[in-house]
Amino acid sequence: ELIKPHVDKIVCLNIRSGPFFAVADAYKLWYDLEDEDVIRLLQLSGF
């Protein structure tokens, strides 16, 4: 947000060392959800 007024586009590459990696590796905070958690969130969203 600090540099947003000064640039047209921001590109942040997330390069891994190999062709296979877990998606969770790209996040600072990641935790798995139980099926019940996902169902509850979908219901709360009106989906």
Specify the pLDDT at position 35. Answer: 97
Domain count, the chain: 1
Domain span at residue 41?
Answer: 4-45
In angstroms, the Cα distances linking 47 to 28, 35, 38, 39, 42 are 28, 15, 11, 10, 5
- Whether residue 44 is predicted with pLDDT greater than 90 in this model: the reply is yes
Scanning the structure block, which residue is given the tokens 């062709």?
19
Specify the pLDDT at position 45. Answer: 94
Binned at pLDDT 50, 70 and 90, residue 23 comes out as confident
Helix (H, G, I), strand (E, B) or coil at 24: helix
Mean per-residue pLDDT over the chain, rounded: 87
- Whether residue 42 is predicted with pLDDT greater than 90 in this model: the reply is yes
- Give the percent of the chain with pLDDT over 90: 36
What is the rounded CA–CA span in Å between residue 16 and residue 22? 10
Specify the pLDDT at position 38. Answer: 95
Single-letter code of the amino acid located at 19: P
Alpha-carbon dihedral angle through residues 23, 15, 28, 38, given to the nearest 10 degrees: -20
